[in-house]
Chain A
Amino acid sequence: MTMTDNRQNTVIGTRQLRREDPALLTGEAKFTNDLNLPGALHLSILRSPHAHAKIVSINTAAAKASPGVVAVYTGAELQSEWAGPMPCAWPVTPDMKNPPHFPLAASKVCYVGDGVVAVLATSESASRDALDLIEVEYKVLKAVVDVEEALSDANIIHEDLGTNKSYTWNLKIEATEGCVEDAFQKAAFKVSERYVQQRLLPMAMEPRAVAAVPQPFGGDITLYSSTQIPHILKVMAALTLGIPEQQVRVIAPSVGGGFGSKLDVYAEELLCMALARKHSLPVRWVEERSENSMATIHGRGQVQYVELAADKSGKLTAVRVRIKADMGAYLQLVTPGVPILGAFLYAGVYDIPLAYDFSCDGIFTTLTPTDAYRGAGRPEATYAIESAMDALAREMKIDPLELRKRNFIQKEQFPYVAFSGLTYDSGDHLQAAEKAAGLADYVGIRAQQAKQNVPGAKKRLGIGMSSYFEMCGLAPSRVLASLNYGAGGWEAATVRILPTCKVQVVTGTSPHGQGHETSWAMIASEKLGIPQEDIDVLHSDTAISPLGLDTYGSRSLPVGGVAIAGACDKVIDKARLIAAHQLECSADDLEFAGGVFSVKGSPDRAVPMAAIAFAAFTAHNLPDGLEPNLEAQYTYDPPNFSWPFGTHMCVLEVDTETGQIEILKYVAVDDCGVQINPLIVEGQVHGGVIQGLAQALFEEAVYDTDGNLKTTTLAEYLVPAASDVPSITTAHTVTPSPTNQLGVKGIGEAGTIGAASTVINAVVDALSGIGVTSMPMPASPQTVWRAIQSAAKAK
């Protein structure tokens, strides 16, 4: 481990087993659909079989008469339940077009899976059975499937908008007007590439589930949901339903993965709440997997045009990017913002002049709405720049690692003010790249490649790489304001030392597999000098943790974790006053270490936190004016994004006769600053890498020309199994972030951000000698084989 950090941590940085695990390993953990709710009604939803159609008539009579059915509602019949349409929190431009979107479609359906009729019954099977008895007459309209064709407005999806374009968002940074075009004119080398980020299904293993439970009196309602965002959901549900916010409590029980797909406010959550209130009974819903494929948001869905200009040494002189981003049929919570999160990263980890021209069109199609999916905009951007760098290296006939080295922002340049005005906090790209090259045996592989990749070779060897920045730790509230986002980016924490010196840490983050309970207890233990086993972490219930902005965007540690450290500081400050009072000294004369306050220079004059906790509780003898109890709430608004980085490398062989790819080695060198728990960091990297690799090789939400999703089940949508993927060699460098007291950066999305381009670059590297210069994702054997064949024909 390259430890450049001189913190004297004893808990932080150690490999602690997770306290979450026993309940999950023994079946004791409760996911939303595990809750026992006697008397609950079951909601099922009839969904549109058409991508684009007018609803002509709906006959629900037979369904209403079906055994066990309590009520059946069409969209029109529920319209009065909504105080407003479903929320989009990120109107990226003032003139962004956002069609009204309600939990059930009333007059028109805009994608296969759009909700049409809600059935409530006394059992899940009764409500599902009744769906078959509903007759809906549709007038089918032409589907709009291709994002670029949609721009022609030949078939407008939302007539009132008059166009399929939601917005155009520009980021043009020029030192002098016209300098981007000028750079391209004068470039010694340039590349112009088109990449397609296929649609992906997030496929969290737990499908979504919801239960809304009205309280017996007073009008309060509790919503249980498999969500990443109980706090945001509470605000949005209250607004959409017109319920006073203080009457809504949202609880996320154990949540079985999210990857962004549960970072949303969904129709089913609002329907369960509205119907539970209407019927004064609990109402629950659980998603089937094939329903999940259509009704839960999709990820990616972008066409990218990327141009790089470089001087004769390969130094980048300008970057130009045009994005066609597929919004799907409606704007969900942050749909339009996803490509914008990537907008700042198309220059990657490279030192470029003020010559950057980015523009993105957000475009409606008649497909499932897209939204954040692990990395959200940043994997797309990283894929584009890292693939284009390889294209540039091929153009220049130089080694791609050498090209990167010529362009890296150098260690000495940090903190680095980028072309965008954003400041990159810290980094050492060269170190990460060299470490990865060492672990992958870059030099050796190149030598072996020269021997192996001879004309006619059946198996060709390739090595690919990606050096990335992960702009994360979402986010400084003022920066979000400048991007027109509808909320802040702070995170809240409360630290409460109980009379017996046990600790409750209350966090606004909402974990769904990341191990926050373990990591947050480690942070509090480090700060307070209290053993981890005496610290509980409370989360994911808005009644227990009323303030928070939840978990996404690799924000939990660099924002939420830092908030906990800040709350600990406040508690320690208060405890210090009590200690000084007891020791009859000035608070400034005290030092605090290992959970004990002692007088500087007289270590025998000391008082432990346990004594102070009890004194704060009894309040018999506190300094004048000091409130009893040891509790502090702290809200941390980060001054900057955090910028984890790293280099991934992949070595693989391509069978030129079958198109089959075999990964021989995958190396991930990641730098997320100070690591709280390296065990968890590695796990995040493993999972992220395989999700990125899955985009590269396996996964795609495939639609036909009528807008039917052809990959609705796990039999058709290829989430890789253990036998499909390699082991991963992980390593790291440690470059602490200077912007927060823990020196942390976040790691949740890094693996995904680095992986897809690493793998595809390796595939193209293997085949470039036989004329293959690009490879669509997913690079299935058939796709690879076809690319090889068409390259051979072109010769």
Chain B
Amino acid sequence: MKVSITVNGTKQEKEVEPRTLLVHFLRDQLQLTGTNIGCDTSSCGACTVHLDGEAVKSCTVLAAQADGGTVMTIEGLSKDGEMHPMQQAFMENHGLQCGYCTPGMVMASIGLLNENPNPTEEEVRLGLEGNLCRCTGYHNIVKSVLAAAKK
């Protein structure tokens, strides 16, 4: 089947199998490999992207479901070579180590602040509970999101 999805501002029209997940569409057909896959149960959040402005796990969405929609991935966040304030906050607060969960964590964090621009530490922790990180112990991720909220 054919889908038409606007990804990072560019309209993409592609043939996909009906079973193709959005994450595979992004990675395999558009070579947008910044979106990572960390599990097969929608538990880890490494594949989080924005669909029509909301943070979603792209392994839980079929490409067909995104037909006609707008997707933003980690590759689309920088503007004119400048990282998004959330990306900058992660860098400034050492909010990443191996970096594998990071694209999903950044997208989820932006989604969190879109809904709640001034979260408490507890709200950040609860808001990110769908995104797992094995390196940082979350300490500096939480710090990064709180810092980004202040920007």
Contact = CB atoms under 8 A, between A and B. Distances in A.
Contact of B142 (A679, A722, A724): A722
Interface stretch (A94-102, A251-259, A362-370, A638-646): A251-259
Interface stretch (B33-41, B50-58, B60-68): B33-41
A17 B106 contact: no
B34 A686 contact: no
Given A205-B46, A255-B98, A256-B100, A513 B34 contact: no
B134 A205 contact: yes
B11 interface: no
Contacts of B71: none
B136 A289 contact: no
A24 B99 contact: yes
Interface in B117-134: 121, 124-126, 128-134
Contacts of B100: 31, 204-206, 254, 256-257
Given A18-B91, A24-B96, A714-B43, A723 B126 contact: yes
Interface in A19-38: 20-31, 33-34, 36
Nearest to B122: A723
A256 B96 CA distance: 11
Contacts of B114: none
B98 A27 contact: no
Nearest to A684: B97
Contact of A26 (B34, B43, B125, B128): B34
Given A21-B91, A34-B33, A721-B131, A27 B74 contact: yes
B7 interface: no
Contacts of B34: 26-29
A552 to B, nearest CB: 15
Contacts of A30: 33
A514 B142 CA distance: 19
B91 A26 contact: no
Contact of A725 (B32, B43, B131, B138): B138
A288 B40 contact: yes
Given A27-B33, A721-B131, A713 B91 contact: no
B22 interface: no
Contact of B132 (A512, A714, A728): A714
A713 B40 contact: yes
B139 interface: yes
Contact of B139 (A17, A26, A256, A728): A728
Contacts of A257: 97-98, 100, 134-135
Contacts of A259: 134
A648 to B, nearest CB: 13
Interface string A524-551: 0000000000000000000000000000
Interface stretch (A50-58, A654-662, A687-695): A687-695
Main secondary structure of the interface of B (DSSP, over half): loop
A29 B99 contact: yes
A722 B98 contact: no
Contacts of A31: 33, 36, 100
B128 A721 contact: yes
The range of chain B's interface size is 35 or more
Nearest to B45: A721
A206 B94 contact: no
A722 B135 contact: no
A25 B97 contact: no
B90 interface: yes
B140 A683 contact: yes
A220 B61 CA distance: 41
Contacts of A206: 36, 38, 98, 100
For A20, A21, A289, A724, the residue with the greatest tally of chain B CB atoms inside 10 Å of its CB is A21
Contact of A25 (B37, B43, B96, B128): B96
For B36, B100, B136, the residue with the greatest tally of chain A CB atoms inside 10 Å of its CB is B100
B43 A713 contact: yes
B83 to A, nearest CB: 6
Contacts of B133: 205, 722
B137 A26 contact: no
B111 interface: no
A719 B132 contact: yes
A289 B135 contact: no
A690 B98 contact: no
B92 interface: yes
A690 B139 CA distance: 9
B48 interface: no
B125 A513 contact: no
Interface string A671-692: 0000000011011001111110
B90 A25 contact: yes
A205 to B, nearest CB: 4
B41 A713 contact: yes
A26 B132 contact: no
For A25, A28, A207, A686, the residue with the greatest tally of chain B CB atoms inside 10 Å of its CB is A25
Given A682-B140, A719-B132, 13 more contacts: A22-B91, A25-B106, A26-B83, A27-B74, A27-B75, A33-B33, A205-B101, A289-B40, A290-B40, A688-B137, A714-B39, A721-B132, A721-B138
| 3 A-B pairs with the lowest CB-CB distances in the bound complex, closest first | A27-B34, A256-B100, A24-B99
9 contacts: A17-B94, A21-B99, A24-B99, A25-B99, A25-B102, A27-B35, A28-B34, A679-B94, A722-B129
